[in-house]
Amino acid sequence: MRSDERKPGFKPVHKRYIVERTFAWFDNNRRLSRNYEFLMETLENMVKLSAIKLLLKKN
């Protein structure tokens, strides 16, 4: 919530909410919970595969 707004109630910042929700979806994949990969490229590919999996589930 921004400090310059004094309206009652909670209103999350929209972009931050989207990013945090995406990270929560990524946490559902056990392999991304910890860094088991030796190479950074492997970790990047796992994140990409996880994103593809999320997009396929949403449709």
> What is the residue-level pLDDT of the chain in tens, covering all 59 positions?
555 556 677 776 777 788 888 888 877 777 777 777 788 888 888 888 888 888 888 75
- Check the CA dihedral 40-48-15-36 and report its sign: negative
pTM: 0.56
Based on DSSP, count helices (H) and strands (E) in the chain, helices before strands.
3, 0
> What are 59's two structure tokens?
């449709």
Q: Is 11 exposed, middle or buried (0-12, 13-18, 19+ CB in 10 A)?
A: exposed
Closest CA to 34 of 45, 43, 22: 43
Contact 32, 50 (CB under 8 A): yes
